[in-house]
A and B are shown apart, each in its own frame.
Chain A
């Protein structure tokens, strides 16, 4: 149904797509995979009419397809559910569903028709419980995504000018922010839509997920389509190899690390809402993993330790300091937090690499020593030149690819941004690192580098508390792992004694139910 040949697109000097071929048919889930920067998002934007292709030919249902705008693509039956651009948060669900295609009579929007069409479309994606009058911004993320999918499928009858229900649905990283249960529901929906004859183009970093849901795949590398075929003929490892153009080493046996003294100790820590109860002892030279589902309270745990969220009860001890503290005091104690939200919390994207590295510990003005240096520091005098030097040093050490210390953080790739955020903690010389999803949204190669860095830090005596959704990463990187389930942190065990299956059982609460069959009804979660 959809056929693309030799599609190319350049942004200035950057060639985002060199030559892409894609063949996909109706009633098919077609995965488009590739590392970050391989051109997946650009290809999807071309198909959805967000950007125009420079070269190549695309046909849809046998006729040439060259959408000039998202509205044109939508009228031709191609709808994009993109990850970052979600909905208008201030409008209600029905208004969002109808946005750009409102039925009107004498110029007045037919609100009743909008609402009934919204109800029907929501029911079609199995989200009939969502109130069309609810404000989109008040919905949980998974529901907002369902609303977006419903928007692609809404039926307006044969009203002139209204787009038909989509024939091609493009899902861009649909599960990156979903919990496992919501993701499972989404897969069921995707399969059902396939059964109804839709072509679903599915873009994801999670290869296991792709393998589970897709029928066929196309691999992009450096703006070219390098492989495609039936999903049942390949394994995730094969896909990684095609994506990277080389075989990526699996979890290599790593040399054991030697944990030292306890530097962070939690005793029944409880935050405002989450975590409910968390105890652990983190040692120098150790990587302690925290597994858990989205919403289990992982981020909240780190925030409570770092002093960003209030502590309701329980104890936090960092080295010899006991009790709660502000983030500023935590940094002074040698504790650093890497946020999962790089764009908003982790980095000042508009500012330079050097400024981002030295933000928490600005370099004092250079030529002074002793009392003069203290005076310069007291006056708040800083040295941009020394900040540049420091940034260049860390860029070299961590392998941050940038044009120089003056380049804006926003211009770096996801992986390099993450290294930059890590560089700030190292520049501050913290020795206890709280890392929240350090590998989120970065490509396979950069992921391996980040985990290599973390491993190196632990070997140099730093203590790391690592939160990650990606279980293979946790299992291969950590010394000990504990599972956080509904705000309660379970027992920590050596990583070697866990299996992925067991971690999942604990995280979903399945293990607790099985181990305590005699528990009274209603005692479950």
Chain B
């Protein structure tokens, strides 16, 4: 699985790109970028995308896609707010939000495997269903609620002992866990095997359906956790939140070396990809670039990053 040299690893090229882009912004705007605080701020802004990207890495590596993550994050914030409003504690409310997403992931996985529908279609439908459910539960309004300590998860000042907010540590811990899962367990090996060649995996006795369902379940649970972190940022339940998040997440995973055809993708790469996008966004803001310029630049960088990766691979 792993080529021996670091520069052959899938996350190496995006890491170089990240360093280059960061150095560029440091040169252009040293008074903001050459300070450690900004790293903490950007890490805080990346946490939600990064956690969702962990699940997306698993799904893309096994040859699928999930378009419903933005709606899923929004639904989670609404469920958490709704439960808090009804007197549940912060932990129970968070667990409820994650569980709701778990159910959706399970159903998505079953639709993909049992009904033999393509993941693109199933999750396109789920995108709309979850968004609608969020709006219905919130009665088409933002649910304003006392966040009861949950806001501390991504509070800018996590205290000097933590360096970065607790939510960022949570993201890193989950990343380490997912990376270990993919590398050191049967399930992880089967994720790559199914994405690489489903027929071969089936012939080797791998229960392809179970791997698929488990992937969607796991990814949805992670999206639920990301939704809790998003709630701590918003401190309200917002059914219109995170529209378009799926594109940022898929872009992060693909920039990180994953192939949409399956079989490839790494947690480290996805994290680097997600952070790269935040750096571009933050840097553009500090340089005073308008929003529309930022969007064009981000889009071009996504395409360029993947194009460069293809060239690198073709040469190997």
Q: What residues make up the interface of A, taking CB atoms closer than 8 Å to B?
A: 48, 50, 69-71, 74, 80, 82, 85-92, 95-96, 98-102, 104, 107-109, 111, 133, 135, 138, 151
Contact = CB atoms under 8 A, between A and B. Distances in A.
A88 B205 contact: no
Nearest to B3: A135
Interface in B179-233: 184-186, 188-189, 192-193, 195-197, 199-206
B252 to A, nearest CB: 20
A95 B189 CA distance: 8
B96 interface: no
A101 B204 CA distance: 8
Contact of B192 (A91, A102, A107, A108): A91
A74 B189 contact: no
B66 interface: no
A41 B105 CA distance: 38
B1 interface: yes
A98 B3 CA distance: 18
B195 A90 contact: yes
Given A104-B185, A107-B185, A109-B189, A88 B202 contact: no
A52 B206 CA distance: 18
B197 A85 contact: yes
A138 B316 CA distance: 9
Contact of B263 (A86, A88, A96): A88
A102 B205 CA distance: 11
A169 to B, nearest CB: 14
Nearest to B186: A102
Contact of B196 (A71, A90, A107, A138): A90
Contacts of A69: 205
Nearest to A73: B205
A133 B264 CA distance: 16
A133 B2 CA distance: 7
Given A89-B263, A109-B186, A100 B205 contact: yes
Contact of A90 (B192, B199, B206): B192
A111 B180 CA distance: 13
A71 B205 CA distance: 4
A108 B197 contact: no
Contacts of B314: none
A154 to B, nearest CB: 11
Given A70-B204, A71-B205, A109-B184, A85 B1 contact: no
Contacts of A48: 203
Given A90-B264, A133-B4, A102 B203 contact: no
Contacts of A88: 192-193, 196-197, 200-201, 263
B192 A70 contact: no
11 contacts: A50-B203, A70-B202, A82-B203, A85-B200, A89-B263, A90-B195, A91-B1, A100-B205, A109-B185, A109-B189, A133-B2
A92 B1 contact: yes
Contacts of B203: 48, 50, 70, 80, 82, 85
B201 A90 contact: no
Nearest to A163: B205
A100 B206 contact: yes
Q: Which 7 A-B pairs have the closest CB atoms?
A: A71-B205, A90-B263, A88-B196, A100-B204, A100-B205, A90-B196, A99-B204
Contacts of B206: 99-100
B309 to A, nearest CB: 14
Nearest to B180: A108
Contacts of A70: 202-205
A509 to B, nearest CB: 30
B98 to A, nearest CB: 22
Nearest to B193: A88
Pick the most buried of A90, A109, A135, A151: most chain B CB atoms within 10 A of its CB.
A90
A108 B187 CA distance: 10
A71 B210 CA distance: 15
Nearest to A86: B200
A286 B164 CA distance: 78
Nearest to B185: A107
Pick the most buried of B3, B197, B264: most chain A CB atoms within 10 A of its CB.
B197
A88 B203 CA distance: 11
Contacts of B200: 85-88, 96, 99
Contacts of B202: 70
A85 B201 CA distance: 9
A1 B185 CA distance: 37
Pick the most buried of A86, A96, A100, A133: most chain B CB atoms within 10 A of its CB.
A100
B305 to A, nearest CB: 20
Contact of A99 (B4, B189, B195, B316): B189
Nearest to A70: B203
A95 B199 contact: no
Given A91-B192, A92-B1, A85 B199 contact: yes
Nearest to A72: B205
Pick the most buried of B201, B203, B205: most chain A CB atoms within 10 A of its CB.
B203
A356 B183 CA distance: 45
A80 B195 CA distance: 21
A303 B202 CA distance: 36
Interface in B235-266: 263-264
Contacts of A90: 1, 192, 195-196, 263-264
A70 B185 CA distance: 22
B257 to A, nearest CB: 11
A91 B205 contact: no
A100 B4 CA distance: 25
Contacts of B3: 135
Given A99-B201, A99-B204, A100-B206, A91 B185 contact: no
Nearest to A110: B184
Contacts of B1: 90-92, 95, 133, 135
A98 B1 CA distance: 13
Contacts of A82: 203
Contacts of A108: 184-185
Given A89-B263, A95-B1, 5 more contacts: A70-B202, A71-B204, A90-B1, A92-B2, A111-B184
A89 B199 contact: no
Interface string B1-26: 11110000000000000000000000
A100 B204 CA distance: 5
B178 to A, nearest CB: 15
Nearest to B181: A107
Interface string B133-174: 000000000000000000000000000000000000000000
Nearest to B205: A71
A101 B205 contact: yes
B277 to A, nearest CB: 25
B204 A91 contact: no
A102 B189 contact: yes
A86 B197 CA distance: 9
Contacts of B205: 69-71, 74, 100-101
Contacts of A135: 1, 3
A357 B139 CA distance: 58
B3 to A, nearest CB: 7
A477 B197 CA distance: 40
Contacts of B201: 88, 99-100
